[in-house]
Amino acid sequence: MQRHGSGGSAAIRFRIGFRAAGLVLLLAHMVLVGWLTLRPLDVMWVNADNLELFAGIKADLALGPAEAARRIGEGLLLLAPLGVLLPVAGGRLDVSPWASLARTVAAGALVSLAIELLQTVVPGRVVDVDALLLNTTGVALTHLAVVPAARARLRRGPVVRRDEGSQGATPTIPRVGIAP
């Protein structure tokens, strides 16, 4: 029977704690997004639904560079933390970067779509297809900017001290070849 050193269990505890922290932060972010996007607005009038792709972005650009940057930035940043929080909550280190990106962007798009659909029943809120596009783009950009580098760093492993009683790695004999 093999004895496992405490280095393995410390690494497992680190990953479980990391994943739990990701889940808590994900939940907190989703509560904040829900509060920001699903509370009723007290407005005199409501614009019509925007179902034409890029029409809202063109209208934002027509307002001038400062206002356009603010509005487009809000759309990009609203769900951008999901690009990092979803992979952290998933807790996987050894995964294909493209599969991770596809899963994260798909989940971000579904969350954004759910928000847009829920806004149809909230007074003062309307559906905006450009918000769906900007939110999903924000998730993708954040994921690409942070997750591959963070996973590479975590794969190298945290600094974990082993107990003195640990047996270490299994010895290998280099002169013995592999059987045919």
Helix, strand, or coil (residue 180): coil
| pLDDT (0 to 100) of residue 1 | 47
Low-confidence ranges of the chain (pLDDT < 50): 1-6
What pLDDT, in 10s, does the model give residues 5-34?
445 677 778 778 889 999 999 999 999 999
Residue type at position 81: P
- The separation between the first and the last C-alpha atoms of the chain, rounded to the nearest angstrom, is 28
Would the pTM count as exceeding 0.85? no
Distances (CA, A) of 3 to 7, 37, 41, 97: 12, 53, 62, 34
Q: Which residue's structure tokens are 């496992």? A: 4
- Round to whole Å and give the CA distance between 107 and 87: 11
Helix, strand, or coil (residue 135): helix
| pLDDT (0 to 100) of residue 5 | 47
> 152 and 145 in contact (C-beta within 8 Å)?
no
- Round to whole Å and give the CA distance between 140 and 35: 23
